[in-house]
Chain A
Amino acid sequence: MTAPTRAAETDFEPVYHHYGPHRTGLPPLVPYFRQLWLRREFAAEMSRATMRSANTGTVFGQLWLVLNPLLLAGVYYLLVTIIRRQHDPTIFTHLTLGLFAFTMVTTAVSSGSTSVTSSGKLLINTAFPRLLIPLSAVRTAFFRFLPTIPVYLFFHVLFLRHSWSWTMLLSVYFLATMILFAMGLAAFVAALQVYFRDTSSFLPFVMRLWLYLSPVLWLPETIFNSDFPRWMLTLIQVNPMYSMLGGYSDAVQGLEVPAPYMWVSAAAWAVGAAVAGFLFFISREREFAVRLT
């Protein structure tokens, strides 16, 4: 990207740019991320404008943000109740907690996937770190997640009245890993979408499968005490969401400090996804301008 250096002593005070070939397909990363940081206001404004245009600011728009995941939780709870043949409010609170956080990640990824392809003109005509575009989608998803927190707390008060502990604060760490993970994944699918425009149509299936493999509709205890095949248990544990979402719900509902491996593996997944996703995105972003015409 651009590397602003000291301006000459003229009344123009020009910004000096030098554009050279990228080594190993990547622009110099330090100036890239400096520019990214300098223009963070752009990502924020883009996310705000997107939310405005989706009527998020209106009363019913806000209500829908709460109603939509709530209805989803209702549907899944009905499903789980029929399968288990018993009604259990604790399961419901666990489900809402997990589902709200999981929805944040899937919203970030699915809106991230079309974010680059749908901002064609801006991309073709303006030089700026493209990574801002998927990151802006993640910001939008996070702000749509926020109104569901009081909803969850309402159920917590209702069904888990006596379960309050300082460990609930630890959930912030696991939420942060999920956001970072979503950023990496959103960047990855956003770049992939430029090459394969049907990526966003496959995503809902992948996301649905991922949801069933994650500890949202079921509790880890019940799975590991059952006679599930070994390979399936391994698959479930390899799932990044197992440690991120598992740690999250342990902290909020288990009222215990999540096991150390949960902390480590959640951080490893998040950082790994962010590094891989960002580098893939940045290495491809030169081609966006010519592929989106």
Chain B
Amino acid sequence: MSSLSDSPETGPPLAVKVDDLSITYRTTFERKPTLRQALVRFGRGQRAVRTVEALRNVSFDIPIGTSLGIIGSNGAGKSTLMRAIAGILPPTSGSVEVWGKASTLLALGVGFNKNLSGRENIILGGLASGLSRREVEERADDVAEWTELGDFIDMPMRTYSSGMSARVGFSVAVHMKPDILMIDEALSTGDAKFREKANAKMAELRESARAMFLVSHGLGSIKEMCNEVIWLNKGELMMRGEPDAVVEEYMAFVKVKRSATTTEDI
């Protein structure tokens, strides 16, 4: 443990190392599981619980300075992988090692309490992610300023539009000085002006952060912003490499599947 961020064999120091990671969890397919429903179902001898194998034996390591794009169809395990790296979802087997503090931007993290103002949510989000009270207070004003919400920042978040809460979420994530920036379809909300501002901020952070993860279905922005891409399919790591090559393979794979099903249909 003398030199933490040096991997033993290879040269470049790592930001993230994922080793044989599998994540399985049990969840219910009901939107609001209730005891009443459970008893009714128990009487019929059914259960509403299903097991999800979100990730299966995924291994990769990310050297410092990488902007990693993660692509794959819905349910491929992209968000699960991000949560595992953020420490939100501990592995079922395997391990995740992270050198640095991960940001909290997965599905736009703040604004959890709609009755509190944007500013209060910013402070709570910062405290939850482990900053000290002093650090949070130092940054809260910057964050609030950056959102350009004006007076809205001190109003309850239930009065916000979805684009406005997205601004707050993004602003918190980028201002809490993350070592590892994680962005999950973040920029789909927000107007053109904000998107431009967010892109500029991300480019700036790419310089200062140790690594960046970008989950997106927009293959164009992946190609543009990332220097490496991994492709997940049904929880398995299909390919890792240069953005252009991986995106091409992925497109080919999706097309092949589509044509196969269409021929079947005929």
User: Among B25, B36, B98, B210, which residue has its beta carbon within 8 angstroms of that of A12?
Assistant: B210
Q: A7-B4, A49-B113 are in contact. Are A290 and B128 (CB under 8 A)?
A: no
Per the bound structure, the CA–CA distance linking A116 and B1 in Å amounts to 37
In the complex, A109 has a CB within 8 A of chain B: no
Binds A, one of B119-127, B225-233, B251-259: B119-127
Q: Mark A15-51, 1 if CB is under 8 A from B, else 0.
A: 1111111100001000000010011011001100110
In the complex, B261 has a CB within 8 A of chain A: no
Q: Is B33's CB under 8 angstroms from A125's CB?
A: no
Per the bound structure, the CA–CA distance linking A290 and B138 in Å amounts to 33
Per the bound structure, the CA–CA distance linking A42 and B136 in Å amounts to 11
Q: A19-B84, A41-B132, A45-B127 are in contact. Are A125 and B109 (CB under 8 A)?
A: yes
Q: Is A53's CB under 8 angstroms from B115's CB?
A: yes
Residues of B near A195 (CB, < 8 A) are 33
Q: A8-B4, A125-B88 are in contact. Are A16 and B98 (CB under 8 A)?
A: yes
Per the bound structure, the CA–CA distance linking A123 and B109 in Å amounts to 8
In the complex, B75 has a CB within 8 A of chain A: no
Per the bound structure, the CA–CA distance linking A50 and B115 in Å amounts to 8
In the complex, A88 has a CB within 8 A of chain B: no
A290–chain B nearest beta-carbon distance, Å:
5
Q: A122-B110, A197-B34, A198-B34 are in contact. Are A287 and B91 (CB under 8 A)?
A: no
Residues of A near B97 (CB, < 8 A) are 16-19
Q: A8-B5, A198-B34 are in contact. Are A126 and B96 (CB under 8 A)?
A: no
CB-CB contacts below 8 Å: B13-42 with A: 13, 25-28, 32-36, 38
Q: Is B95's CB under 8 angstroms from A19's CB?
A: yes
Q: Is A53's CB under 8 angstroms from B156's CB?
A: yes
How many pairs of residues, A versus B, come closer than 8 Å at their CB atoms? 171
Residues of B near A50 (CB, < 8 A) are 113
Q: Is B104's CB under 8 angstroms from A125's CB?
A: yes
In the complex, B100 has a CB within 8 A of chain A: yes
Q: Is A197's CB under 8 angstroms from B87's CB?
A: no
Q: Is B87's CB under 8 angstroms from A17's CB?
A: yes
In the complex, A2 has a CB within 8 A of chain B: yes
Q: Is B35's CB under 8 angstroms from A22's CB?
A: no
Q: Is B115's CB under 8 angstroms from A290's CB?
A: no
In the complex, B247 has a CB within 8 A of chain A: no
In the complex, B90 has a CB within 8 A of chain A: yes
In the complex, A157 has a CB within 8 A of chain B: no
A44–chain B nearest beta-carbon distance, Å:
9
Q: Is B27's CB under 8 angstroms from A119's CB?
A: no
B144–chain A nearest beta-carbon distance, Å:
15
Per the bound structure, the CA–CA distance linking A287 and B244 in Å amounts to 37
Per the bound structure, the CA–CA distance linking A132 and B88 in Å amounts to 15
Q: Mark A156-176, 1 if CB is under 8 A from B, else 0.
A: 000000000000000000000
A31–chain B nearest beta-carbon distance, Å:
11
Q: Is B96's CB under 8 angstroms from A18's CB?
A: yes
Which residue, of A20, A118, A121, has the highest number of chain B Cβ atoms within 10 A? A121
Instruction: Give the 5 A-B residue pairs with the shortest CB-CB distance, closest first.
Output: A125-B109, A127-B87, A122-B112, A42-B127, A121-B112
With A52-B120, A118-B113, A290-B52 given, name 9 new contacts (CB 8 A).
Answer: A9-B3, A17-B99, A18-B95, A122-B110, A126-B109, A126-B128, A127-B102, A196-B38, A287-B25
